[in-house]
Structure formats: C-alpha cells, structure tokens
Amino acid sequence: MSKIKAVLFDWDLTLGAVLGGVSNEERLSILFHNIGLHYDSENITEAIAQRQRDIERGSLQGEVRPQTREQYILFYQQLLTILGHPDPPRQLAERLYEGYADLPFILYKDTVPTLQALAAQRILLGIITNHSSAIRSVIKELLGEFIPPEHVIISDELGVYKPDRMIFVQAAAHLKTPTRQCVYVGDDLAVDAIATVTSGDYARALWLDRSGCSKGEKLPRNVYRITTLIETLEYLLG
C-alpha cells in the first residue's frame, strides 16, 4: 500500500460534539428553543420514535437518518408536524438546519493532541462534513491552526453529501493527494467508514466507536474500529 499522506476527519461526534456530551434529543430541544419553539427532549424523543414508526410502516416518506440538506429539512418539517405544528413552512425548517451550526461546539480531549502528532509527521489534515456552510467559521476558529480552509470540505458547498463517493474523491483532490494515500476517520460505520473505502477508494477508514458499544460487526477490508482518536496514530505511525 502507498504511504499515507493525508488523514481526513468527520466533524460532529468525531472531532467534537455540539453541546458536548448531551443526547441528540437534548441538542434538538435547545436548537428548537433558539428559534422560539419550546419542546423538551421528552417531546422530541417521542416525535422521533413516532416518525420512525411511520416510515417503517410506509405511511411517511423520509430517511430515518438524514444526511443531505433536503433530507434534514424534510426531517424538521415532519418532526414539527408530529409535535403539533400544523403545515410547518420550509423557511422554518431551514432556520433549524442553518441554526445547528450556531450551537456551541466542544472539542474532545483527544482531538488537538491527535492533530498535533499527525501534523508533526507532515501528514496533511482535512475535514469532510455533511453540514451547512455556516460551520466553516466554527471550524476555522477551533481548528484553523491545523486545518487550512481549502482542506475543509462541506457538503452544502459542493452539493454532494456523504456517502456519495464524489465527496471523498473531491476531498482528496482538494488536498492534492491520491485517494489511495488518504485515510478517513468518522463515527458512522456506514456513512463514514465503509463508504470511504468501498466507494471513495481510500487506503483505510477508521470507524470511531467512542461509546465502545460495537456489536462485533464484521468489517470490510481496510476498515478498522477505534475507540479514541489517539488510536489513529497507531495505524499511521506504527
């Protein structure tokens, strides 16, 4: 295998987390509160469960785990409908989508040490994230020391979203590195890790299972499970 020259990372739940160690339902509750929609995390938990049941029954169209801008906008509209907000306008859902980037983002303790160690080895660093362009200024503020703006690949700006192979290919091109000399690190086994090697043709993908709750999934060739970012160094630096 060619020498690894670049490591790219997912953003949310890989390098850090919105509002730190809170549940997804708590994040959504705060996001909704920020635009004047006062639903608590219990309400949102019930609405998400109802939406999933409706999708599984075929009475509602949508992705259980949205990835693209349009999927998220539909997700917010459907949640609002279930929560009792009749016929929610697209504009309201777009405010929620864009507002997610305004929530405080907290880096994990192993993020900066990992990036420092990789940078010291002259390994190129980048980010690929399914996010709105509003996140760019946040990334620059928190990690601009390690990752230049041209190495930050934001799905909304390209109009291509993970797990589409083209976002991985274009990211490697932005770093001026062949895909076979790239590694990707992310928390989503299917969207980040498996897609990167099977579609994006990256040399390796590291699935970051911070919870340690793996069910013993059989991983494809060149996909490896790690539980901390520091373990990235073992796969690159021996």
Both 13 and 60 in one domain: the answer is no
| CA triple 15-48-66, angle to 5 deg | 50
Residue 21 is predicted with a pLDDT of 87
Banded pLDDT at 177 (limits 50, 70, 90)? very high
DSSP-assigned beta bridge partners for residue 105: 18
pLDDT at 161 over 50: yes
Do 67 and 127 sit in the same domain of this protein? Answer: no
> With left for phi above 0 and alpha for psi between -120 and 50, is residue 6 left, alpha or beta?
beta
Over 60: is that where the pLDDT of 238 sits? no
Do 141 and 218 belong together in one domain? yes
Same domain, 71 and 154: no
State which residues form the domain around 193: 6-18+106-237
- In eight-state DSSP terms, residue 12 is B
Q: How confident is the model at residue 86 (pLDDT cuts 50, 70, 90)?
A: confident
Peptide bond into 163 cis (omega under 30): yes
Cα separation, 14 vs 12, whole angstroms = 5
- Report the number of distinct structural domains present in the chain: 2
Query: What CATH number did the domain enclosing 225 receive?
Result: 3.40.50.1000
**Inside any domain, residue 65:** yes
**Domain limit, last residue, from 73, 102, 131:** 102
Angle at 129 between CA 197 and CA 186, to 5 degrees: 45
Mean pLDDT in residue range 26-35: 96
**Average pLDDT, integer, range 124-150:** 97
Once rounded to an integer, what is the mean pLDDT over residues 114-130?
Answer: 97
Per-residue pLDDT, averaged over 18-46, amounts to: 95
Residue 107: half-sphere exposure toward Cβ, Cα within 13 Å: 15
Q: Which amino acid is at 162?
A: K
Decide which of 70, 102, 134 is a domain's last residue: 102
Over 50: is that where the pLDDT of 1 sits?
A: no
Residue 236, pLDDT score: 83
Residue with tokens 């390098």: 15
> Count of residues for the chain?
238
Provide the residue type at 190 as one letter.
A
Assigned domain for 1 exists: no
Give yes or no: residues 227 and 187 share one domain.
yes
Mean pLDDT taken over the chain: 95
Residue type, 147: I
3-class DSSP state of 140: helix
pLDDT in tens, 49-69: 999 999 999 999 999 999 999
Same domain, 77 and 181: no
> Which pLDDT score, from 0 to 100, does residue 135 have?
97
